[in-house]
A and B are shown apart, each in its own frame.
Chain A
Amino acid sequence: MRRLYSKRVWNERTGRFEPGLIEIRKGRIDSIDFGSKRSLAKTEDLGESFVGPSAIDLHIHSRGFDENHKEDFESLEAAAQRGGVGLMACMANTQPRLDSPKRILDFLRLTKNRSIRMLPFAAVTEKLEGKTPTAWKELLKMPIAGLSDDGKPLWNEEIFVAALKATKAAGKLLSLHEEDLSCSEASVIHLSEASMRTGHKGSPEEAETRMVERDLAWAARLRAPIHLCHLSSEKTLSLIRRYQKKGVKVSSELTPHHALLSVEDFREREPLEWSQFKVCPVIRERSDREALCRAARSGLISVFASDHAPHSRLEKDRPMESAAHGILSLENHLPLYDLVRRRSKLSWGDYFRLSAQKPADLLGLGQEWGHLKPGYWANLIVFEETKPQDLEWGRSKSSNGPWKGLKAQVRMLQHWSQGRQVYG
């Protein structure tokens, strides 16, 4: 039995931080006594630190396997410990790809018994090439988050429709990277004044909206839930709104980079920093960023998902066009999304809904994960507000990211995962 006391424990019922005594037994929350005035004997007194549920991130590029130089499962685990992420759904674009039951078993073997839970997505198509379906029937019976070819769009409509039906029947996620390559090929930043000034190939909003529109229409026709990765454009939000009104179950993700950065930030940087902004989908206008944040507040966007994508220095420290896509964020998950919360004027209730509750529901784990309630796994973060300070890095093996200049305003003090303190 462990007891934690704080004057600021998140109370889901009232939507406030309140004094509370948390009892943890066998990895789960045994009870929370809100209204406790002081800590009892044999209780860790956390003072005025904030206590809330840890995050569940549905979009992580784990690396490992043949890319241990970018990130291995140890460094990934360490980054999540500091970032306050208790469960990660990891994309299938590892090297080699997670495109067979054997590869999924390899992943599960390597990530078993870690302090942070890691769930794999299985690839929709072999080698993520969009041509040959993987063994869905077998894969969907395994402990996976769902199917995804993230990194590549499912351009083959026939395969997309079949995958949508299969995941619907299995009750798993079909996580979609929405990109029409015919208008975004070789692009590195939003088609904008900034792309024109710097001479880079720009990606128009249509690169995202065309695929989203195709897929939403199918989701409506088949009455199947659909999950859209890393939204980047305001126009996509209008489409989602339209289909949600028709009753289509659409869930979607907000990354920290699409919520905090825009082409205006890119334009101010030196050429040596350009490649750090390269990500897919591209960073767009301030108006897109603001619309995405509003959509997170209104509930139109369902979850925070980081799209954490480690890359080696050789792949990222080079001219933008030949640099790799992707931005690192996992070990600063809490400080970055706290900045999103502040800028978007999200309440803490919104924050925990987006970071923990909705992701747990989407994974079908909402009865055990994502809440700070008796009976749930004791997955919690303890943090404090600080004066603005530089983001701390160093747990991931990589260091790619355009985060220079952003200041953290919260600091992680402790991270508990399934009843065990894993950070602090």
Chain B
Amino acid sequence: MLDHRGLLSLSDIPITQLRDFFRRLVQKRRDSVTRASRVQSPVGCLAFFENSTRTLTSFEKAGLDLGLRWIHFDPSLSSLSKGESLEESFKSLAELDPSFFVVRHSEPGFAHWVQHWTQKPVFNAGDGRHQHPTQALGDAWTLWKQDLKSGSVAFFGDVENSRVARSSGFLFKKLGYRVSVVNDGRPQTLLFSKAMGFRLLARDKLPSQKIVFVLRAQKERGGHSALGPLLKKELGRGSYWMHAGPVIENEDVEWALCRFEDENSLVRQQVRACYEVRYRLLADLFEGSR
């Protein structure tokens, strides 16, 4: 699953490796990982240039549970504000010899450049609209754990600006799910569905979908949702809704859906699954299970 570069993108990972990764996730749930036996306190560097709640804390928690130590690189307090280049900043950080980096940035391809500059394993925790590989793995793992190993997944919302739609959708399709995008009538959405090989779905067909993946309007990237919130009545009987968070009530999903989350929502499970995936990936990095 991991290579010497860490986890930068999902696009080149063979399906066999993905299946093997999920199989090992199942196994590892059964045997408890003892921190002392797993790693000898390596240091990871968290460098987040965009805000984060779930990704940052779950990487951190997973690392702490494995006995890792963390350096927090805060861009706002760094010499970047004095005009230092990103390349120079990361090369300097690499001189401190952390074992790996976890990076999030607004530019597509950023994690690849950090890997190139530092020559260390890098986990891509989101690069602009491009990819969010560990979220995608966590989302797929959520479905596996629910025994939802096939079926239909419809993305609902601002797909154009969403890295989650790109990477989770890509992974779902690779794993055999029928992936579609809810048509909001905008040419960008049509182009997106064509580019990703997803079907375009009329909104009134939502009840036929097993899983509806709701996307936040990515306002920080100039995005907006032309669809309005997902309504509870739009979900089919026995259907689920997912969301990578943060969920904005009445903007992403109607209030009633949040109240009934036990019934239809996989949002909490996603957070847990993403933690487990990140834990497994970090453990793999130091167990040599690449």
Chain A residues in the interface with B (C-beta under 8 A): 191-194, 196-200, 270-272, 274-275, 314, 317-322
Complex partner residue of B195 from A196, A272, A319, CB under 8 angstroms: A196
Complexed CA–CA distance, A194 and B195 (Å): 7
What B residues does A274 contact at CB under 8 A? 108-109
Complex partner residue of B130 from A192, A199, A322, CB under 8 angstroms: A199
What A residues does B116 contact at CB under 8 A? 272
Complex partner residue of B192 from A196, A200, A275, CB under 8 angstroms: A196
Q: Are A319 and B109 in contact (CB under 8 A)?
A: yes
Q: Are B107 and A322 in contact (CB under 8 A)?
A: yes
Q: Are B160 and A196 in contact (CB under 8 A)?
A: yes
What B residues does A321 contact at CB under 8 A? 106-108, 128
What A residues does B163 contact at CB under 8 A? 199
4 more contacts with CB within 8 A, not counting A197-B195, A319-B107, A321-B128, are: A196-B188, A197-B166, A197-B196, A199-B163
Q: Are A272 and B109 in contact (CB under 8 A)?
A: yes
Q: Are B109 and A320 in contact (CB under 8 A)?
A: yes
Q: Are B191 and A271 in contact (CB under 8 A)?
A: no
B104 at interface (Cβ–Cβ under 8 A)?
Answer: no
Q: Could you list some 13 contacts between A and B, CB below 8 A? A: A196-B195, A198-B108, A198-B109, A199-B108, A199-B131, A200-B108, A272-B113, A317-B87, A318-B85, A319-B105, A319-B107, A319-B127, A321-B106
Chain B residues in the interface with A (C-beta under 8 A): 8-9, 85-87, 105-110, 112-113, 116, 127-131, 160, 163, 166, 188, 191-192, 194-196
What B residues does A272 contact at CB under 8 A? 109, 112-113, 116
Complexed CA–CA distance, A257 and B219 (Å): 34
Q: Are A320 and B191 in contact (CB under 8 A)?
A: no
Complex partner residue of B113 from A193, A197, A200, A319, CB under 8 angstroms: A319
Q: Are B87 and A314 in contact (CB under 8 A)?
A: yes
What B residues does A193 contact at CB under 8 A? 191, 194-195
Q: Are B191 and A318 in contact (CB under 8 A)?
A: no
User: B12 to nearest A CB, angstroms?
Assistant: 10
What A residues does B9 contact at CB under 8 A? 271
Nearest A residue to B85 via CB reads A314
What B residues does A319 contact at CB under 8 A? 105, 107-110, 113, 127
Nearest A residue to B86 via CB reads A318
User: A204 to nearest B CB, angstroms?
Assistant: 9
What A residues does B192 contact at CB under 8 A? 196
Complexed CA–CA distance, A194 and B87 (Å): 26
Complexed CA–CA distance, A274 and B127 (Å): 14
What B residues does A317 contact at CB under 8 A? 87
What B residues does A198 contact at CB under 8 A? 108-109, 130
Given contacts A319-B107, A320-B107, A321-B107, contact A196 B113 (CB under 8 A): no
Complexed CA–CA distance, A274 and B112 (Å): 11
Q: Are A196 and B109 in contact (CB under 8 A)?
A: no
Complexed CA–CA distance, A272 and B122 (Å): 14
What B residues does A191 contact at CB under 8 A? 191
User: A140 to nearest B CB, angstroms?
Assistant: 39
Complexed CA–CA distance, A317 and B88 (Å): 12
Q: Are B108 and A271 in contact (CB under 8 A)?
A: yes
What A residues does B194 contact at CB under 8 A? 193, 196
Q: Are B195 and A271 in contact (CB under 8 A)?
A: no
Q: Are B191 and A196 in contact (CB under 8 A)?
A: yes
User: A315 to nearest B CB, angstroms?
Assistant: 10
What B residues does A197 contact at CB under 8 A? 166, 195-196
Given contacts A272-B113, A314-B87, A318-B113, contact A196 B196 (CB under 8 A): yes
Q: Are A192 and B191 in contact (CB under 8 A)?
A: yes
Complexed CA–CA distance, A322 and B8 (Å): 19
What A residues does B106 contact at CB under 8 A? 321
Q: Are B87 and A320 in contact (CB under 8 A)?
A: no
What B residues does A194 contact at CB under 8 A? 195
Complexed CA–CA distance, A194 and B130 (Å): 11
Complexed CA–CA distance, A272 and B109 (Å): 7
Q: Are A271 and B128 in contact (CB under 8 A)?
A: no
What A residues does B109 contact at CB under 8 A? 198, 271-272, 274-275, 319-320
Q: Are A199 and B128 in contact (CB under 8 A)?
A: yes
Q: Are A271 and B112 in contact (CB under 8 A)?
A: yes
What B residues does A322 contact at CB under 8 A? 107
Q: Are A318 and B87 in contact (CB under 8 A)?
A: yes
Nearest A residue to B166 via CB reads A199
Nearest A residue to B108 via CB reads A199
Give me the 8 closest cross-chain CB pairs, A-B, nearest first.
A199-B129, A271-B109, A193-B195, A199-B130, A196-B195, A319-B107, A271-B112, A199-B108
User: B199 to nearest A CB, angstroms?
Assistant: 15
User: B133 to nearest A CB, angstroms?
Assistant: 13
What A residues does B87 contact at CB under 8 A? 314, 317-318
Complexed CA–CA distance, A321 and B113 (Å): 13
Complexed CA–CA distance, A423 and B95 (Å): 45
Complexed CA–CA distance, A38 and B105 (Å): 67
What A residues does B113 contact at CB under 8 A? 271-272, 318-319
What A residues does B107 contact at CB under 8 A? 319-322
User: B125 to nearest A CB, angstroms?
Assistant: 15
Nearest B residue to A319 via CB reads B107
Q: Are B191 and A270 in contact (CB under 8 A)?
A: no
What B residues does A314 contact at CB under 8 A? 85, 87
Greatest chain B CB density within 10 A among A194, A196, A200, A318 is at A196
User: B240 to nearest A CB, angstroms?
Assistant: 26
Complexed CA–CA distance, A191 and B186 (Å): 14
Complexed CA–CA distance, A271 and B127 (Å): 11
Complex partner residue of B129 from A200, A270, A271, A318, CB under 8 angstroms: A200
Greatest chain A CB density within 10 A among B105, B107, B113, B188 is at B107
Greatest chain A CB density within 10 A among B109, B128, B188, B192 is at B109
Complexed CA–CA distance, A275 and B132 (Å): 20
What A residues does B195 contact at CB under 8 A? 192-194, 196-197
Nearest A residue to B162 via CB reads A199
Complexed CA–CA distance, A314 and B117 (Å): 12
What A residues does B110 contact at CB under 8 A? 319
Complexed CA–CA distance, A24 and B194 (Å): 61
User: B85 to nearest A CB, angstroms?
Assistant: 6
